[in-house]
Chains A and B, each alone.
Chain A
Amino acid sequence: MAILVIAEHDNASIKSGTLNTVTAAKKIGGDIHVLVAGANAAAAAAAAAKIDGVSKVLLADGANLAHPLAENVAPVVVEVSKAGGYSHVLAPATTTGKNVLPRVAALLDVAQISDIIAVEAADTFVRPIYAGNVLATVKSADAVKVITVRTTAFEAAGEGGNAAVENTAAGAEAGLSRFVGAELTKSDRPELTAAKVIVSGGRALGSAEQFSAVIEPLADKLGAAVGASRAAVDAGYAPNDYQVGQTGKVVAPQLYLAVGISGAIQHLAGMKDSKIIVAVNKDEEAPIFQVADYGIVGDLFSVVPELMSELSK
Chain B
Amino acid sequence: MKVLVAVKRVVDYNVKVRVKADGSDVDIANVKMSMNPFDEIAVEEAVRLKEAGKAGEIVVVSMGPKQCEETLRTALAMGADRAVHVETDAVLEPLAVAKLLKAVAEEEQAQLIVLGKQAIDDDCNQTGQMLAALMNIGQGTFASKVDLADGSVNVTREIDGGLETVSLKLPAVVTTDLRLNEPRYVKLPNIMAAKKKPLAKKAPADFGVDITPRLTTLKVAEPAKRSAGIKVASAAELVAKLKNEAKVL
* Complex-state Cα separation, A171 to B167, whole angstroms: 20
A240 touching B179, Cβ below 8 Å: yes
Q: List the B side residues contacting A104 at CB < 8 Å.
A: 133
B138's partner among A132, A142, A177, A222 (CB-CB below 8 A) is A177
Given A134-B17, A297-B231, the answer on whether A307 and B238 have CB atoms closer than 8 Å is yes
B168 touching A177, Cβ below 8 Å: yes
* Complex-state Cα separation, A278 to B232, whole angstroms: 10
* Complex-state Cα separation, A101 to B129, whole angstroms: 8
* Complex-state Cα separation, A71 to B173, whole angstroms: 12
B133's partner among A74, A94, A289 (CB-CB below 8 A) is A74
Q: For B236, give the chain A residue with the smallest CB separation.
A: A310
B33 to chain A, nearest CB (A): 13
Residue A293 lies at the interface, judged by CB distance under 8 Å to chain B: yes
Given A98-B141, A135-B220, A294-B230, the answer on whether A115 and B123 have CB atoms closer than 8 Å is yes
Question: Which among B213, B231, B233 has the greatest number of chain A C-beta atoms within 10 A?
Answer: B231
Q: For B226, give the chain A residue with the smallest CB separation.
A: A291
A234 touching B163, Cβ below 8 Å: no
Interface size on B, residues (CB 8 A): 81
Residue A183 lies at the interface, judged by CB distance under 8 Å to chain B: yes
Residue B51 lies at the interface, judged by CB distance under 8 Å to chain A: no
Interface size on A, residues (CB 8 A): 91
* Complex-state Cα separation, A193 to B239, whole angstroms: 24
Q: List the B side residues contacting A107 at CB < 8 Å.
A: 133
Q: List the A side residues contacting B160 at CB < 8 Å.
A: 94-96, 193, 241, 249
Residue B90 lies at the interface, judged by CB distance under 8 Å to chain A: no
A308 to chain B, nearest CB (A): 8
* Complex-state Cα separation, A184 to B223, whole angstroms: 35
Q: A94-B160, A106-B131, A275-B246 are in contact. List 7 more A-B contacts (CB 8 A).
A: A69-B166, A129-B220, A137-B219, A276-B246, A294-B229, A294-B230, A306-B236
Q: List the A side residues contacting B140 at CB < 8 Å.
A: 177
B121 touching A129, Cβ below 8 Å: yes
Residue A265 lies at the interface, judged by CB distance under 8 Å to chain B: yes
B138 touching A130, Cβ below 8 Å: no
A188 to chain B, nearest CB (A): 14
Q: List the A side residues contacting B123 at CB < 8 Å.
A: 114-115, 127-131, 246
Residue A9 lies at the interface, judged by CB distance under 8 Å to chain B: no
